[in-house]
Amino acid sequence: DGLNDSTTLFISFFFFFCETTELQLRQHKKYVFGHHCFKFLSIYIWISCGYGPLKTGIKREVDETLRPGVYALVDSCSDKDRQYLHTVFGGPCRNYLAALKQESDLNFKYEGKV
């Protein structure tokens, strides 16, 4: 199974985005990449739902590895961007976005003190 260049770039971005869990650095990345996060999130959802080039979705092992980065993307998207994705997506992609938001809220949100 070879990965094409766009998939490799996409995975590299996830690893860069979630390479640390320090709140300050994560907030800095959110500021720098925030206006692009919804684009990466939409690509991830599109591929996960089987609309990517291979039409097979993402393997479970790969998805589990990417999940912290996905949660970081969901967290970094503005409410406006998530609403935009909700509007343009239909069917399984819209449902997957809603599930990711719910999972992110349960599993990822930082609620401690700085």
Positive/negative CA dihedral, 60, 56, 33, 82 = negative
pLDDT of residue 97: 93
Average pLDDT over residues 56-64: 84
pLDDT of residue 101: 92
* Cβ-proximal residues to 61 (8 Å cutoff; 6+ apart), any chain: none
**Structural domain for 25, as ranges:** 5-112
Chain mean pLDDT for the chain = 76
* Residue whose C-alpha is closest to residue 58's, from 114, 11, 9: 11
Residue 33 has pLDDT above 60, yes or no: yes
Count of the separate structural domains present in the chain? 1
Average pLDDT over residues 31-47: 79
Determine contact, residues 107/74, Cβ cutoff 8 Å: no
| pLDDT higher at 69 or 30 | 69
The first and second tokens of residue 44, run together, are: 């991830």
CA 94 to chain CA centroid, nearest Å: 14
**What percentage of the chain exceeds 70 in pLDDT?**
64
Note the pLDDT tens digit of each residue in 80-110: 999 999 999 988 999 999 999 999 888 876 5
| pLDDT higher at 30 or 85 | 85
Average pLDDT over residues 44-59: 84
